[in-house]
Amino acid sequence: MARKIVEIDLSGHGIRVEECPEDLRLLGGRGLTSTSIQRETDPLCHPLAPENLLVIAPGLLAGTGLSSANRLSAGAKSPLTGGIKEANSGGTAAFKLARLGIAALKFRGAAPRGRCLGLRVSREGCRLEDLGFLAGKGIYQTAEALRERFGARVGLIIAGPAGEMRMSTACLSVTDPEGEPCRNLGRGGLGAVAGAKGLKAVIIDDEGAEFRPHDPEATKALIRDFAARLKAHPVTGEKFPKYGTAMTLMNVNKLGGLPTRNFSAGSFEGAEGLSGDRLYETISSRGGQYAHGCMPGCVIRCSNKYVDPAGKAVVGSLDFETIGLLGANLGLGDLDQVAELNKLCNDIGVDTMETGAALGVLAEGGLFAFGDFPRVRDLIQEIGQGTPLGRLIGSGAAACGRAYGLDRVPTVKGQSMAAYDPRAIKGLGLTYALSPMGADHTAGNAITLAVDPTDPRVQLEAVRELHWKYTALDTLGICIFTGRVSLANPELIEQAVRVITGWAASWAELLELGKRILHRERDFNRRAGFTAAHDRLPGFMLREALPPNHEVFDVPQADLDSFYDFDREGQLD
């Protein structure tokens, strides 16, 4: 099936649909967003200017029931970092776009300020809709209204009030199989890029559409086989479904790497109350849902539906990074509180991680006391209200650090770290420092590596390889949580590519593709003004020993500087 690329010019110059050009034919997800941006976006443009390109692309393998292979990528020049950005999420959008034969939506230009538009995508084609009645509305209300207007089964991608206000930490929210808008394209401010264009939502109606894999029978067999293998593995088959991503929290805490009170400690006295065990007990005893799949076909089902003591829905999927940064990092040890904050952030449409990091910085700056839940809740509400303080918080941790005159700010390239302190888990320090995306754990989550996380000398090779692998997975649209099965048995990945697309790529070739995409991203950043000076952790992490294990970040600088010394020549095209 020939895939299509849809070009939408929001300045009023219409919509153009064309066949995916030959040189993009074997790209999806991150590979497609980053390649498009590297080729077409002026690296010196302002991220909120009309010339910034917003690309939304399902992973190359999306559209089938293959477990954990329906991830959606979005990319642009980031308002937060000023560099290239790809964020990916679960939800149903990628699956539905792929079924409609769409390889990418590319948004250019900008509607006149004040317009609030939706793009409806269906078998009938693509059409812009006036969504003025939803201007300024929260993401939950927007999702409900759009499902009411366009049908309960549409998939949605939504910018919240934060995006409309063009805040640097605004995310895009994607609906899950139940229609809850809670799977976030979280990082780097892609919601603000949408907001600057006047794009409130993408509505995807795949009614009547069908995805035809290259080899339907073999695909069916692979879907069964892959699901069985994931279910058979103790992590993907048992721990993830039961404890969700929070399963890692006590481990990170034990390693002394759980960001606590603005990264001033690596273990939190209230960690038990935030643990995967506690999450499971709480959800299961209250009649919430664990083992929830965020994407069609997923058997890992690390997602959940968190409920309050009365069993009433609070938020779709309370996850580790959110728990770490809105919990321990703010001195909060109560899952109910974190869930409420998560819901608020989701509704406003801001990245929970950046928000937690920003608030941690402000607490250190003296704006409020760590552990003051009502104040944290009020402050997050201010983001949605667009008060000056809310806008400062919505500008991210680096902006808050600047405003409060602090040099203890846990960011790289202007983006906050995830819920792993890189002094204790040093491989993540490499990932934070070197990812073209800024401090982004999903670029290469070294917590999964077999190497000693505290040994500064053994990280380079392993982390680098992880970046190649993850970039390949992000391009295919395969969830990185499959890694213990898929990366351990890359013939499964080869097989998936072959039966779904017909492309007989070896795993080595797919890794080469990952490398090439990383170099393209890196090239964009270089032209946007990034140098080795930006591939560094904040200075305080090099000199301030992190309790309780008194670690500093001591990976040799030479390792940082040589990270991209791989296959450099001829890798851009």
Select 148 or 407, whichever has its Cβ closest to a copy of itself: 407
Measured between alpha carbons, how far is 112 from 9 in angstroms, rounded to an integer? 12
Task: Tell which one of 44, 221, 232, 545 touches a copy of itself (CB under 8 A).
Answer: 44
Sort residue 497 into left (φ over 0), alpha (ψ -120 to 50) or beta: alpha
Q: Which two tokens stand for residue 375?
A: 């104040």
Cβ density class 273-312: b for 16+ within 10 Å, e for less: bbbbebbbebbeeeebbbbbbbbbbbbbbbbbbbbeeeee
User: Does 462 sit near a copy of itself (CB under 8 A)?
Assistant: no
Q: Which is nearer to a copy of itself, 180 or 351 (CB)?
A: 351
Shortest spacing between CB 540 and a copy of itself, in angstroms: 7
Q: For the CB of residue 393, give the shortest distance to a copy of itself in the complex, in Å.
A: 9
Nearer to a copy of itself, 99 or 391 (CB): 391
Beta pairing class for 72-77 and 313-316:
unpaired
Site string (223-252) toward a copy of itself, x via CB under 8 A: ------------------------------
- 188, 195, 259, 276: which one binds a copy of itself (CB under 8 A): 195
Nearer to a copy of itself, 109 or 490 (CB): 109
Q: Which residue has the tokens 């559209």?
A: 63
Candidate list 79, 138, 161, 257; residue touching a copy of itself; CB under 8 A = 79
- Contact between residue 8 and residue 126 where contact means Cβ atoms under 8 Å apart: yes
Q: What are the residue ranges of helices labelled H in 415-528?
A: 426-434, 460-476, 483-486, 490-501, 507-528
Q: Which amino acid is at 245?
A: T
Minimum CB–partner distance for residue 48 and a copy of itself (Å): 4
Contacts of 565 (CB under 8 A, 6+ apart): none
* Least distance between a copy of itself and beta carbon 3 (Å): 33
Q: Could you give phi then psi for residue 200, rounded to 5 degrees?
A: -90, -35
Nearer to a copy of itself, 55 or 196 (CB): 196
Q: Which of residues 359-388 bind a copy of itself (CB under 8 A)?
A: 367, 388
DSSP string, 481-505: GGHHHHTTSHHHHHHHHHHHH----
Quickly list DSSP for 78-107. -TTTSSEEEEEE-SSHHHHHHHTTEEEEEE
Cα atoms in the Cβ-side hemisphere of radius 13 Å centred on 291:
12
Site string for a copy of itself, 151-190 (x = CB under 8 A): --------------xxxx----------------------
Residues in contact with a copy of itself, shown as a per-residue x/- string from 488 to 527 under the rule CB under 8 A: ---------------------------------------x
CA 133 from centre of chain: 28
- Choice between 202 and 528, CB closer to a copy of itself: 528
Question: With binding defined as CB under 8 A, does residue 22 bind a copy of itself?
Answer: no
Residue 404 interacts with a copy of itself (CB under 8 A): yes or no: yes
Q: How many CB atoms lie within 10 A of CB 529?
A: 11
Instruction: Report whether 100 contacts 206 (CB < 8 A).
Output: yes
Is-contact 480 302, C-beta < 8 A?
A: no
Of residues 136, 216, 529, 556, which one binds a copy of itself by CB under 8 A?
529
Ranges within 540-569 binding a copy of itself (CB under 8 A): 540
CB of 86 to a copy of itself, least distance (A): 20
Task: Select from 147, 242, 391, 515 the one that contacts a copy of itself (CB under 8 A).
Answer: 391
Residue among 504, 503, 492 nearest 224 (CA):
492
Distance of CA 48 to the CA centre of its chain: 20
Q: Which of 528, 546, 555, 560 binds a copy of itself (CB under 8 A)?
A: 528
Could you tell me how many residues of this chain bind a copy of itself (CB under 8 A)?
42
Choice from 5, 415, 538, 559 touching a copy of itself (CB under 8 A): 538
Subset of 405-424 contacting a copy of itself (CB under 8 A):
405-407
Q: Measured from the CB atom, is 117 or 367 closer to a copy of itself?
A: 367
Closest to a copy of itself by CB, 45 vs 451, is: 45
Nearer to a copy of itself among residue 291 and residue 392 (C-beta): 392
Query: Per CB under 8 A, which of residues 111..150 are in contact with a copy of itself?
Result: none
Query: What span, in angstroms and rounded, lies between the C-alpha atoms of 293 and 84?
Result: 29
Using CB under 8 A, list all residues that contact a copy of itself.
43-49, 51, 79, 165-168, 192, 195-196, 367, 388-389, 391-392, 394-395, 399, 402-407, 527-534, 536, 538-540
